[in-house]
């Protein structure tokens, strides 16, 4: 690598190159490893100079500040303290709402998938009671021949959906419908 290239690099780090000269230097660096390395070294030297003086300035400033007693430093109150408080409250509300939403979604999924523990608990109780009925109540004692009749009456004593029960021994030769009507009227 010749002195001309080194001068070009020195002028480059000094910001003295024209656009054409920068392109020329880039071409040299692209094709010459030693030129690239030299440019790199000079750039590091340039940064080293800046760092060196920066450290000196920092030392000078630290010395200027060292003489100030702590009580002279102004008390600080955050200018965004209030909005911080409001922000915190809003964050809590958002967190709670999010929690409810997530819990609701999980509950719905569990119910539909049949994994919801409360549902399982009651299902088990009902299943147990049904089993009890089947095991301990003789089937022949259960009267399955139940007849439902809907009758229409203007009798104010009767209300909509009232249930009237007529036992077999109350029929006395009448049909079940006649017996129901009679009982409804006497109510």
- Name which of residues 121 to 160 contact other proteins (CB under 8 A): none
Which residue, 74 or 172, has its beta carbon nearer to other proteins?
Answer: 74
Residue whose C-alpha is closest to residue 6's, from 50, 45, 36, 49: 36
CB of 25 to other proteins, least distance (A): 15
Query: Given the rule CB under 8 A, which of 34-42, 85-93, 132-140, 158-166 is the region that contacts other proteins?
Result: 34-42
Binding mask 39-68 for other proteins (x = CB under 8 A): -xxx-xxxxxxxxxxxx-xx-xxx-xx-xx
Residue whose C-alpha is closest to residue 148's, from 174, 168, 177, 173: 177
State the Rg of the chain over Cα: 49
State the maximum Cα–Cα separation within the chain, in Å, rounded to a whole number: 136
Query: Given the rule CB under 8 A, which of 21-29, 72-80, 132-140, 152-160 is the region that contacts other proteins?
Result: 72-80
Q: Is 14 in the site for other proteins (CB under 8 A)?
A: yes
Task: Compute how many other C-beta atoms are within 10 angstroms of the C-beta atom of residue 104.
Answer: 10
Q: Is 30 in the site for other proteins (CB under 8 A)?
A: no
Residue whose C-alpha is closest to residue 3's, from 28, 26, 27, 22: 28
Instruction: Compute the distance between CA of residue 162 and CA of residue 156 in angstroms, rounded to an integer.
Output: 12
Which residue, 74 or 121, has its beta carbon nearer to other proteins?
Answer: 74
Which residue, 37 or 88, has its beta carbon nearer to other proteins?
Answer: 37
Whether residue 13 contacts residue 46, with contact meaning beta carbons closer than 8 Å, is answered with yes
Whether residue 8 contacts residue 21, with contact meaning beta carbons closer than 8 Å, is answered with yes
Instruction: Compute the distance between CA of residue 153 and CA of residue 173 in angstroms, rounded to an integer.
Output: 23
Q: Which listed residue (18, 31, 78, 175) binds other proteins by CB under 8 A?
A: 78
Query: Given the rule CB under 8 A, which of 22-30, 73-81, 85-93, 163-171 is the region that contacts other proteins?
Result: 73-81
By CB under 8 A, the count of residues binding other proteins is: 36
Residues forming the site for other proteins (CB under 8 A): 6-7, 10, 13-14, 37, 40-42, 44-55, 57-58, 60-62, 64-65, 67-68, 72-76, 78
């Amino acid at each position: 690598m010749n002195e001309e290239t080194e001068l070009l690099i020195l002028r480059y780090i000094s910001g003295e190159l024209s656009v054409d000269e920068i392109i020329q230097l880039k071409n040299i660096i692209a094709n010459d490893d030693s030129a690239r390395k030299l440019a790199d070294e000079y750039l590091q030297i340039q940064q080293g100079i800046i760092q060196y003086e920066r450290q000196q300035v920092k030392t000078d400033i630290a010395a200027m500040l060292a003489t100030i007693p702590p009580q002279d430093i102004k008390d600080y109150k955050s200018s965004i303290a209030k909005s911080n408080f409001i922000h915190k409250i809003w964050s809590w509300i958002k967190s709670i709402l999010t929690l409810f939403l997530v819990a609701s979604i999980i509950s719905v999924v569990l119910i539909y998938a049949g994994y919801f523990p409360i549902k399982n608990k009651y299902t088990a109780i009902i299943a147990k009671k049904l089993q009890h009925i089947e095991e301990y109540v003789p089937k022949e004692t259960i009267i399955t021949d139940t007849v439902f009749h809907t009758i229409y009456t203007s009798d104010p004593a009767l209300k909509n959906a009232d249930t009237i029960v007529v036992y077999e021994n109350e029929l006395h030769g009448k049909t079940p419908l006649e017996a129901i009507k009679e009982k409804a009227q006497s109510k």
